[in-house]
Amino acid sequence: MLNILCRRLHGSLTARYHYSGELLFNNTSPSDSVIRALTSYVVQDDTALLPSLTVRETLHFAAIIRLPRHMTKFQKVARAEQVLSQLGLRHCADTLVGSEFVKGISGGEKRRVSIAIQILTDPKILMLDEPSSGLDANTAHGMMELLQALAKEGRTIICTIHQSRSDLFPLFGNLLLLANGRMIYSGKAGNMMEYFEGAGYPCPTFANPAYLHYKSNLTLVTLLLICVRSTYNILKERNNQELVWNS
């Protein structure tokens, strides 16, 4: 789904994709160039990071490559240093990124570096594919708090989460819940349990809301799509076909 929203899903000789519906930004159909200008996408794995560079070198290199030509090198480096502090990477700035063969920073720090690279250009919309995947409970909670802080700065944050921990659930803003590829809930995360209780499927006491298996034809909760609080109201589905972005 995120690949479709970011216009990153392309067919090939061996695979073809078909999707329908209309994607609107503030009731206007955006071109691919507008989508690329407004959005940044953080993929699930961090394999694109160069293990032989330090965190600071990685951000400096990305800033020089990605930021506009009208900015001087000094301005680009200053922007990289600003993001370095913003994402809490100052303590490991001069540590190698590393890999499975080279000792380096932790998995949570790598995920923060990947996010830092994408917010160098200050995108209005940041999309992340399972940002808490592979992280321990404490690191995953810190990651979601970071995304919430980025959203409070005025960005729209959209990410997919598969069966999240219960302590992460209160950090969610708007929630799109899918089961077997179909939407079963769209709205405020805090209203989800009340909604299903009204439909006859109450959440058991002390149960994780993200692990609910509802007794219906759409039983398996497979995907959580979170839009943390921001300046946009995102992803309202019209007639189960049209994804609408409203201001």
* pLDDT by residue, tens only, the chain of 247 residues: 777 777 777 777 787 877 777 888 878 888 888 888 888 888 888 778 999 999 999 999 999 999 999 999 999 999 999 999 999 999 999 999 998 888 999 988 999 999 999 999 999 889 888 888 878 888 888 888 888 888 888 888 888 887 677 777 778 888 888 777 778 888 888 888 888 888 887 877 777 776 654 443 333 333 344 444 333 333 333 333 334 433 3
Q: What angle do CA 58, 61, 63 make, to 5 degrees?
A: 105
The structure tokens 């899918």 sit at 178
207 residue type, one letter: A
Which residues are CB-neighbours of 144 under 8 A, at least 6 positions away? 131, 132, 168, 171
> Closest Cα partner for 63 from 48, 74, 47?
74
d(CA 106, CA 185): 35
Query: Beta-carbon neighbour count of residue 3 at 10 Å?
Result: 15
Q: What share of the chain is helix, strand, coil (3-state, %, to 5)?
A: 35, 20, 45
* Residues facing 128 on adjacent strands: 42, 159
Q: What pTM value is reported for the model?
A: 0.78
∠ at Cα 209 (203, 210), nearest 5°?
140
Place of tokens 């659930």: 169
Alpha carbon distance 146, 33 (integer Å):
28
Neighbouring CB atoms inside 10 A of 132's CB total 24
